[in-house]
Amino acid sequence: MATILKRGGKYQAQVRRLGHKPVSRTFTLKSDAAAWARKVESEIERGTYVDRTPGASTTLSQMLSRYRKEILPKLSSTSQEVDGYRLNTLDSKLGHHSLAALTPAVVSDYRNTRLKVVSAGTVLRELGVLSRVLSACRQEWGIEVRNSVTEIQKPKAPRGRDRRLRQGEIDLILAVLQPTMQAVVRFAIETAMRRGEIAAMKFEDVDRAHRTLLIPATKTGVPRTIPLSCGAFQIIEGMGDKDARGPVFGMTATTISQAFRRACRRAGLEDLHLHDLRHEATSRLFEKGLAVMEVALVTGHADVRMLARYTHLRAGDLVCKLG
């Protein structure tokens, strides 16, 4: 049975037949929509119908590749790196499917299978990338495709981490690190900067006269300038003279993460992640007495409510304030 609906000044024809998945197409003229519907119904009855829509003839793998070339380079360096890994996973697990075959049942099966090997947070982020790819198909490339990610039940988001450095842990880590990584770790705790921002920072972005640092490429896409503590400024000064140019630390974001993980293993520290240093640094800013908006200026949070995820004050430190 065919139905024709007017949507936004155009006409969408949809054909439903028992034993066949619904097929639809949009036309400018209602007469063209009706003619197409009659033709499709006739072909289905004769058993000669072949779905020729882009969604049926295009694989997810092709769209993942296009997303990687056209959309990914516009994101922050950190997003390019982590989303690149997620695109690889999606390609290996779902890439062989046509866009039309990515039904809620297929995506739900992917979710269930992945939950057996990775955390709910990882699955949520992978589904988020898949949803953005499917949205790009419709909004950027004019391919009518169903975004099944929006129709399935999502895993429950894990509770935000509240890990802070314990007494003596920073000394244990620094003791097993090379000098450059020692500087990176100490700088992260001083500034609350993200891994990608630290890796990308350059000497020419430092304003020595005002003791500030320009961060031109951020996760939110909005450049920001942050004040540097005496400790942070001294770390930069120790990495090069006043005429130095180029990257301050000369390490990629991936290299920094790998070095930190290895250091934690050598130091015998469990459940400590590089990103926990951002939690630690943000909490210390509040403990110094900075106001919420002042902390947000330093950390770069666009939504100050997100600071609650990164700020974990120690109850014992508030006793004196309470009296």
Among the options 278, 279, 284, 312, which is catalytic?
278
Among candidate residues 111, 195, 284, 301, the one labeled active-site is: 301
186 assigned to active site: no
Residue of 219, 224, 273, 309 marked catalytic: 219
Strand, helix or coil for residue 5: strand
> Distances from the Cα of 195 to the Cαs of 92, 111, 214, 279, in angstroms?
27, 28, 15, 12
Rounded CA separation 22/1 (Å): 10
Whole-number Å distance between alpha carbons of 79 and 197: 11
Residue 301 among the catalytic residues = yes
Of 86, 111, 114, 194, the catalytic one is: 194
Measured distance CA(36)–CA(132) in Å, rounded: 31
**Residue type, position 28, single letter:** T
Q: Confirm whether 219 is a catalytic residue.
A: yes
Q: 322: how many CB neighbours lie within 10 A of its CB?
A: 6
**Other residues' Cβ atoms within 10 Å of the Cβ of residue 18:** 6
Residue 60 in tokens: 């997810």
* Catalytic annotation present for 17: no
Q: Which listed residue (11, 67, 110, 310) is catalytic?
A: 310
Provide the 3-class DSSP secondary structure of residue 258.
helix
Q: Is 194 a catalytic residue?
A: yes
The residues that are catalytic are 194, 219, 275, 278, 301, 310
